[in-house]
Structure 1
Amino acid sequence: MALHEEDVNCYRCSPRTIHERGHRPPTRGKVTTAGVAHRLRTATAHPHLAAGLATAIFTAASIDQLYTVHLTDLAPDATEITLHDAGRLRQAARHTQFRSGLVRCCRLLPAYE
């Protein structure tokens, strides 16, 4: 995960990693990740909503950040996502910790182990 404080209208930006700034991304154990993925898969009617919920859970993203995500903010190999913050309420971020939960849960991309 990386924090981004520069231009909020960036395109395919690559902010510094969260570790370079001394922060830690949210972590979930394998049991918690599997439980969340199962609940989202079985209880969420629309895949788009499930993807948003999973991203929020695994990245600690705000709803404002989720609204700014575009397809170009997802890395080609689906290992990271860039979250922006147009309202500057929270720091924008590039997150790499979501793939095991988001990708498997929402089945939008091939599953990664």
Structure 2
Amino acid sequence: MKTLSALLVLLCCSTVAREGLAQSTVYTRQHDLLVAAIRHGSTSGVMEGEVAEHFTRQFRSTGPLLVTASVIQSFSRNDCKRLEMVFTKQDVETPRGRTGAILKTRLNYCLDGSPPIALE
């Protein structure tokens, strides 16, 4: 009975995760992700396109590339922020089994795509 209950919980969690992924915002350009984060404070979704293809080749994984971006510092120009992006490539094969490969990066960015000229 415990095995059946555990199996039902796993199936339920898997379905919820899959539905959540299906409802995620899809980004094809990093610029769009960063602009959304500047405007809203943070954003998350699934990255597709050239960036996702690079991760697929690098990690030899066809799992989705999840991405989040959040503001970590503001500057005097309201349209410019310091952001942290976190990329998580799902289903990467490792010696310990399948896991997510995580890449974190920080950058200064403005809504027009340029970096802030002077930092504070």
**Greater Rg, structure 1 or structure 2?**
2
Structure with a larger share of its residues in strand = 2
Structure with a larger share of its residues in helix = 1
Fold shared, TM-score > 0.5 on shorter chain: no
TM-score (norm 1): 0.28
TM-score (norm 2): 0.27
Which of structures 1 and 2 has the larger relative contact order (alpha carbons within 8 angstroms, sep 6+)? 1
